[in-house]
Each structure stands twice: as structure tokens, then as C-alpha cells.
Chain A
């Protein structure tokens, strides 16, 4: 709290980016964890909540006649434009937020104060939901070829690896340690995915310290061991996910890539995915396009192309497709690395796993996948997503790109995934929110030291509890798309990769389809389930009645009429649907202003069976901008705001009341 210079500012205007006419006046509050804007307006008092950890930049713009504009850009792609009447207030808010948005120690993060009112046991259960031991067993290891190694039990060999890693049985501790010394950050080759059907595997590591000519016998033995663990194949692929030029440049620094001559039976392959700096700039450029005020089609398409974003997404997908094909069709094991083996390698291994194994396309499996390829193998969440104040050059949307790859696949295979787009968006949100402990720190070692599991809650349990919200209605476990390996088209299908407005323009509700097919179908399915239950009850009653009548026996079973519960198609959740600014010509016209008629335009979505608490469709959609967003989406549980709220209520309620 000591960083808050200005807890409350009144008469602040919140601008609508799409329409200058739609500005609302309200009060701005700064709390220890959130920025909150409460609209003036008597009835609705719409609220916009933004977590400090979501703030990526704050910009104070030149003061105008109406006040001092403050632009807040968030990591979940929300952009908030405020106008604060007094320059001094604006400055105080600005200075406070600069500090609040850049915490210096983990303890300042929201997850340490967030309390969803679960008891200790529930918290522990939550952390147990995703269990990697179980996952490796599911994959089929340990077995004759693979075993768990404890060389890293005290993080003695590699501090960014987990304590438990699977390695080929023939790889002795001596080989592993030797190999680790020949790899950047000592990230030695370890198992990422094992294909039970044909023994082929995906292993991951960092680049070898080969320089121009260095060799390492143990490292060569390590790769040999990986090959031997797949008796059906006489070679392995070594995939370097970097552009060749980058890999070659690394040689000068004593790093580099495998020389085919030194390793027996490897096929070496470059797959050019650019580094984190290129990706950061690419996203930046694409977001600039998203932020354009009223872009022409050419501005947009040109900007999208110029950002290179979709090209990068496709490069990651292509790498994943290559590996999945090697494993599934050729039955060849693959070793994947980039430089340190924690960014591109994580992306590519997880895309390949997702393509290969239908389990990862279920909700639970997807959580496991992120836990396996990202969390446990030391993807540097803290650095990449800027949770603590740090080097801005370390920040890069690495996992965002993976999440987008999944979305692109969902677009191509609409029935293949158990979860829907919202699930992906909420995971992205929470990678940045620091509301849950899952993604804190840079490695398992740091998380254990911080005692994350004792002090914070798990996101996976939270998502699992609300899983009804995240289901893809088109998913059926028995559907052909849910079986076996997915085979996305490779070339010449560039057009399959599309701009994801649901993510990057997530908060511009006006840009999205105004009716959600997913929500509609989910509601229908929910109703179907109720109908099935009712059908059973009715059949039973009928049977009883017929029996009793025939036996002239009276059973008065006045059950409540379930039909009343089927309010699905009559609820009047409405969505204000108003015209955009289609023309400037209308402004000067002396008749009434077009905004006057807004009230009568409330579009009643007749199929709004949709959960009454779903902020996507409720009139006060702004409320959703903060965390509530996620909490509001309780599954069928009508309208209650669960968990999180209680957490933030505790001290902030005072501000709101005052």
C-alpha cells in the first residue's frame, strides 16, 4: 500500500477505443492488487478491474483541455484509455502504477494474497490434479528402454531441470553428467514424449557446446542411447529449431550444433524459428495494427503481413508437424533443441505431442502438457512474462505463440479438442495474472524454494472446477477427429493461418461475432441432458401410474414440474448492439444524434439460454475486463461470483464503499 499515492480519483473518463462518443465517467481506485474503474451511472455501476500484474505499459500523454490522458496497455491485450481531470492526480496515478506494475519480489504478487476460501486440504488436492508421475506412466515409461534418473535429485546437474527426468536405460549417470557438461546450461537430452505404439520418442535438450570442432564422447553416447531405446529405427533426427545462420553464429561463442560426422546415425535438420527478440518485436507490430483507430482493410492486412506474426506461427507449426510425422509415420525418435532449449524447444515439443496424442487434446491432458513441457522443464515464466521487474529484453510471447498454434489447430479440426477457445484465453490470462502459483519463477527449483504449493493455489484446479465453461460442444471422444495423430495440411495452405481476433482484440467485444455458436450449442447440450433426465423420470412415473391404475392403487406423486426449469430459450439476457461509426457524415446532421436511440437497440439474443453470469453476453461486459472475467464464468451455477471475489473483497471493499 505504501506505493499508492492516490487511492481514488473522481470524474475520470474511460474512453471507448472504437467510438469516441462512448466515453463513460466514473471513479478510479487504486488498490494493492487492482486498478478499478467504477462507472457513475445509478443502476449498473459497471466496473472494470485490472490486475497490476497484467499491466505491461503505462503512458501519460500530453494534457488536453479535457484533462490528462493515461493509456494503460495490458498483457492480456486490453487497452484502457483514461482521462483524468487534474494533471497532478494523473501524475500520482501514473507514478503509483509504474511501481505497482513492477513488483520487485515474488511476495508482492497477487497469488500470495489471493484467497479463494479453500481449506488446506482442498488446496493440496488442487495441486495434485496434474501429476507428472502419472503422466509418464500413462505414456508407458519406465519400461525396458526408459528409466527415471535421479542424477538431478538436488538440482546438482542442471538447476533448470526437474528433479525427476526420464533417460534411456543405457545412459549411465556418467554419460548423463558428461553430456550435460557439453550442453548449454547443462540441459542434457531428456525424454519429453514417448510413443507407446512404436517406441519412438521426442527428447529435448539445449545446444551442444561444439564450437567449431569440440566433441564429447558422453554426449555422442547419449544420442546413441536414445537411438537404441527405439530398436525399430537405425537413426534419430536431431532437429535444431533455429535458423541455420543463428546456429552457426553460436559456434563462434563455443556453442553450436551437432556435426553429423561425429555422431553416428543422426540426421540433422534445421527448422528456422526466430528467436525471442524477433518474436517480441513481431507481436509488438501486430498489436500496433490491432490498436489502429479505424484501419482500412489494407492497413490491417499490410500491417499483419509486415508484423510477420502468422509466418512465425506457421514456422512453429511446421516444426511440430515435422516431428509428429517422424515419430508417428517413420517411427524415428527425435532430439529437439534450440539454444537453451526452453523456448522454441518447449513450443515445438508441445505442438508435436498435441498432434500425436489425443490425450493432450482433452482438458486435463492439455494441463498436463503445459505442466510437462513448460513448467517442469524450466521455461522461464518470470522472465518471459515479466512477472517481476526485470530485463525487458527477456520478455517474449513464447507460450502465447504455442497457445495460438493450438487455436489454429482448433480452427482446422473443430471436433478434435475437448476444450474451447475460452479455455486457451483464460490460460493465457493467468500466465500473466500471477493469481495462481503455477507459473511463478523460472524453474522448479525456485518454485520449491518459494514453497509455492503451500502458499498459493493451483490454476488447474480452478479451471477444472469450472470445466463446464470450457467444453467444446463439438467434441466427442469417439469421433474420428479425436483419435490418433492429427495431420494438418502443410503446403500450400498458408490461408489456413488466420488472425486470432478473439485473443488480440479480446476486449473489443464489438469486433467479434455477436452470437456465440459454442455457447449456444453448450446450452442446447445442457438442456438435452436435463431432457434426458426428465425423460427417465417421466417414464418411471408413467410406468408407476400404469401399474397403479391397473392394480387400482393410488400413488400420489405430485412431482414438481420440471419444465419450469427450462427457461433456456426465454431468458432475456441482452447485448447492446449498436451501430458503429459507419460514416462521419452523420455527425453534422442537425437531427437527433444516433446514440440517443441506444437503449431500444438492446439485442435480445433469443438463444440466450446462455449462462446468465457470462459476461461475454451480459450488457455490462466491461466488468469482465479484470479477473472477474474469469470468476464470473461460473459454469451453470446461475449468477454467483465464486472464489476470487472473496479474495479481493477483504480489503478493497472498503475502498468501494468509501
Chain B
């Protein structure tokens, strides 16, 4: 297919762009295969706006006489308005944008066409391999092994080719366990707590069905992670009733008779359309133009978004508490084990593991616990809060996770190497990107699409020193401890950086951030200068003393 076929009017002049907190600008609008480009040529205020078509969530058009107006709502929650003179032009442009923003073939997406303008210093596709992770693990324990049982994606289509499992369980057993777990997602290692040797596993629900089927290998696998005489916790992200109902459909949960050393805790985490609706309501509330305080608070409350945040954080804290405080191993799962499960395991690691609070470590966490673990990004992030499509697989699962990280970040502002912008950047790229990282729903699909060969990795770009400097938290001081966030409502706030980003005045906040950076920067510069001077002085004084000693010796001689 040629993109040109979809672009009936590639260019329109005298278009006026409206954005909140900006003056209206007149300029030229151009459409290309992947971008909407608006450029104003005004001498005093030349600027260009590039918008990926894939970032467009919805588009509305209306006419007043022959002046057409297009309102574009983006997946990053921005809303812009374009006034386009000429009814035909406007209609053409609107229908082109609509077609280009809803291409159904992945291979037509921008990442397959994007050619980076920067030199690739490190290929992000191979920056975070599980093998490296395993090497680190092997230096502290030999209870685990790397299994290639899923090499051809035949045992579990949504797992990566290699996984970490208890050493005592062989591949044959894993194949049997896979048959006993929803979608073949057998329990694998998610996190090993070096401090006390406890492990966090994740999987999908066991397929016990109504007649209480059991699987000896499954029991053996999870028990292999327990110390003798100790118990473990199963954190089921569904309420008990839902877990019970799942049995009728062949699913189920670990029954105490067969897992006597495990104690099950049901911590309900909302999913799918409930989350999506909540997301839509919250964004609606944030864009509400009414002047009434009561209405804002009641809409915020009615969206339930912060309730989901609180529940998710609580579950993650609980998992972390079981591991660090109870000294118990933990198995986390819901139904499929691709959404709420990953939210809990990744957040628990943020709490427990200082490494996950570094930039590199956080990237590794996202690769390991989201991309390789098979979170279906393409389905979940197909649309954002403005779309009318309402597909049941769309859900802001990853955004909810990022917001929880932000909430912890807000409570421990000096314990993270990255800043808020880093989290916002990840949110944007999960929904629309020039990079191939978040395309596909699992490693299997990514391999079939040959993404590593055909597209650029987000990490290749982010980890360049020029880019990294934008994402560094100036206040960061490595903190090796477990950080326990508060989950009280008073401690949780709306993530303004995402939800009010486009409709709050941000200049003063940006100035504050600049000031923070300057304070630290100046301090570091001084530190360096003082150290250099000290060294220089020490050298000179040493020379001085040498001479002195010589002289003293000379004096003593006679």
C-alpha cells in the first residue's frame, strides 16, 4: 500500500493551531505517511509541531461556513485544534488522518520506516538479556537454572525463549506444569531477594477446574523455592469469588490440600474495561471546564482511578512485605498472568531492590517484567482515553504501573536515579513511538516481526548520554534500603505530569525544576574545583616540605 493513496490533500496553508496556554498560531499543515506537521513561518515565533499519526486517539471535525475545524485528541492526552480554510481540504485532511492513524498492519507502523539520525552506540535490543541477569543471580545462589524449554515458543507462546526456574525442576517437568497453567505460563523466577534468599515467582492461574485437578510437578516446582519448614504466600490478584468462578471455566487456584505449605491471599486488582473506563472518566474530569470545586472532586472520586492506584500499591507492598519481613517466598498470579501479576511483581521490585530505582535497572525491569514477560502492549495500548472503540483488550495497565512508580518516587524523591520525565516518556512510547520496542504482544510476535532487525530499540536512543541527561534526577543519592511507601489516601496524588500536563500552566513548575538542577550543578562544580585546588596545594606543599626537610638536614649536619 502506498501512503500517498490515503493522502488526498498533503498540504494546507493558513491553518490556525489552537492549544491550551498558547496563543493561536497560523501556519502550514502537511501530512506525510506517518506525521502530521504544522509549521508556522512567522519570523518572531517560528515553530514546528510534529505529531505521529499513531499518537492520534480520536479526531472530530465541524464546520462553520467554509471554515473547517479539526479537533485532534492524542494518546498522550494532548488536545489540539486546527482551523482549516476550505471545506474540501478540511474533509480530506480529516479522513486522511483518520485512515493513517488507524492502520491495521503493524508493519506499516512508523518504526519500520524510521531511520535514526543518531549514531547507535549500543544496540538496545541486546542491552538487557536474561542471560546477564542469570549471571548476576548465579554469583549469589546456585539454586536456579536457565531453561531453554521454550526455545521455539512451543511450551508457552507468551513467554520468552529462556526463563529462570528452580534447579531441581527439569524441562520435562516444566512441560507438564505448562499444561497445568493458563496459557502455559508456568511459575518462573521474577525476583530473588539477596538479603534473605527469598524468591518471587509469577505464573498464570492453575487449571484445577471444578474437579480439583492437581499437578505434582507444579507443586514440586513451587515448593522448590521454599526453605525447609517455611511457608510461602500465593498472592492471587482476583477476589476469592472470581477465583472460584474461574474453576467453572477450567481455571482455578492453588488449593490448600495440595499446597499445604502455601497460604493464599486474595488482593483484588481491577483490570480490563473497568480500568479503561476509569481512565476515560479521569481524563474527562481533568479536561472539565466547569468552574466548580465540588464537581472536580466528585468527578475525581467517581473515576476511581486513585482507588486503583491505592489497591495496586497495597498489593505490591504486601508482596514485598511477605518477602522482606516475613522471610517467605511469594507466588503472584491472577488469571492470565500478563497484567495485574506483572504490575505487582514489578512494583514489589521497585520497593525491594535499589537496582530497579536506577535508570539502567528500571529499563531492565521493564524489559524483563513487561516485554519479555509477555504483557500484550499492542493490544492494551492500541487506544488511549479519547477513543470510542472500547475494545475489551484495551486497558491502561502499564500506565497504572508507571503512575504507581511515580507515587513512590514522590514519597522518596531522592531515591530514584530517573526523574518524572523518564516515566512520562515511557508512557508516550508505549502508546506511540518511532521505536519498535513496544510493538507486538510478546517476544514470539516480536521475533516473527523481526523487530530487532527491522526497527530501532527505544533503549538505543534513551541510553545515549545526550538523552540520558534529560531523564536524570538531580537529587538522586543511591539508597540501598527497602522503601516502604504510604498507601493512605492523603499520601496519594493525582499524577499531574500526565493528566494535567496539557491543561495546567507549567512554566513555574519547570522553572522550579531548573532551579533545583542549577543548585546541584553549581555545588558539584564547586566540589570539583575545591578538590582540584586541594590536590594542587597538597602537591605544592609536599614539594615545599621536601625542600624544608632537605634544608633542615643540612642545618643539622654541622
Contact of B533 among A413, A491, A539, A604 (CB under 8 A): A539
A290 engages B301 (CB within 8 Å): no
Cβ–Cβ < 8 Å partners of A300 in chain B? 489-490
Tell me if B289 is interfacial: C-beta within 8 Å of chain A. yes
Closest to A585 in B: B265
Please judge, given known A-B contacts A528-B522, A542-B533, A585-B265, whether A297 and B413 are in contact too, CB under 8 Å: no
Cβ–Cβ < 8 Å partners of B318 in chain A? 582-583, 585-586
Tell me if A446 is interfacial: C-beta within 8 Å of chain B. no
B544 engages A549 (CB within 8 Å): yes
Tell me if B24 is interfacial: C-beta within 8 Å of chain A. no
Please judge, given known A-B contacts A539-B533, A542-B536, whether A479 and B326 are in contact too, CB under 8 Å: no
Contact of B484 among A304, A311, A569, A580 (CB under 8 A): A580
Tell me if A260 is interfacial: C-beta within 8 Å of chain B. no
Cβ–Cβ < 8 Å partners of A491 in chain B? 289, 291
Interface 9-mer from A45-53, A338-346, A516-524: A516-524
Tell me if A301 is interfacial: C-beta within 8 Å of chain B. yes
Residues B507-558 near A (CB distance < 8 A)? 508-509, 511-512, 515-516, 519-520, 522-523, 526-527, 529-530, 533-534, 536-537, 540-541, 543-544, 548
Cβ–Cβ < 8 Å partners of A294 in chain B? 488
Q: Say how far B197's CB is from chain A's closest CB, in angstroms.
A: 15
Cβ–Cβ < 8 Å partners of A416 in chain B? 508
Contact of A305 among B294, B500, B515 (CB under 8 A): B294
Contact of B479 among A510, A512, A532, A606 (CB under 8 A): A606
Residues A503-539 near B (CB distance < 8 A)? 505, 508, 510-515, 517, 520-521, 524-525, 527-528, 531-532, 534-535, 538-539
Interface string of A583-614 (1 = CB under 8 A from B): 10110010110100100010111110000000
Please judge, given known A-B contacts A580-B484, A583-B267, whether A538 and B537 are in contact too, CB under 8 Å: yes
A386 to B537, CA, bound (A): 63
Number of interface residues of B (CB under 8 A): 86
Interface 9-mer from B156-164, B306-314, B332-340: B306-314
Tell me if A21 is interfacial: C-beta within 8 Å of chain B. no
Looking at chain A, what size class is its interface with the partner chain?
Answer: 35 or more
Please judge, given known A-B contacts A510-B486, A592-B326, whether A496 and B504 are in contact too, CB under 8 Å: yes
Tell me if A499 is interfacial: C-beta within 8 Å of chain B. yes
Dominant SS at the B interface?
A: helix
Tell me if A74 is interfacial: C-beta within 8 Å of chain B. no
Please judge, given known A-B contacts A414-B508, A580-B487, A607-B475, whether A474 and B300 are in contact too, CB under 8 Å: no
Show the binding face of A for B, using Cβ within 8 Å. Answer: 18, 290, 294-302, 304-305, 308, 310-311, 314, 412-416, 473-474, 476, 479-481, 489, 491-499, 501, 505, 508, 510-515, 517, 520-521, 524-525, 527-528, 531-532, 534-535, 538-539, 541-542, 545-546, 549, 554, 563, 569, 577-580, 582-583, 585-586, 589, 591-592, 594, 597, 601, 603-607
Q: A589-B231, A591-B327 are in contact. List 11 more A-B contacts (CB 8 A).
A: A414-B508, A492-B289, A494-B295, A515-B412, A528-B519, A531-B530, A538-B537, A542-B536, A542-B537, A545-B541, A583-B314
Show the binding face of B for A, using Cβ within 8 Å. Answer: 230-231, 263, 265, 267, 286, 288-298, 300-301, 304, 306-307, 309-310, 314-315, 317-318, 320-322, 324-328, 410-415, 475, 477-479, 481-484, 486-494, 496, 500, 504-505, 508-509, 511-512, 515-516, 519-520, 522-523, 526-527, 529-530, 533-534, 536-537, 540-541, 543-544, 548
> Which 10 pairs from chain A and chain B are nearest by CB?
A300-B489, A414-B512, A305-B297, A301-B301, A494-B296, A311-B293, A531-B526, A297-B307, A538-B533, A594-B325
A-B contact pairs, 30 of them (CB 8 A): A297-B489, A301-B300, A412-B508, A415-B508, A481-B511, A494-B295, A495-B296, A510-B486, A510-B488, A511-B490, A513-B411, A513-B412, A514-B483, A520-B475, A524-B523, A528-B522, A538-B537, A569-B477, A582-B321, A583-B267, A583-B321, A586-B322, A589-B263, A591-B326, A591-B327, A594-B325, A594-B326, A597-B325, A605-B414, A606-B477
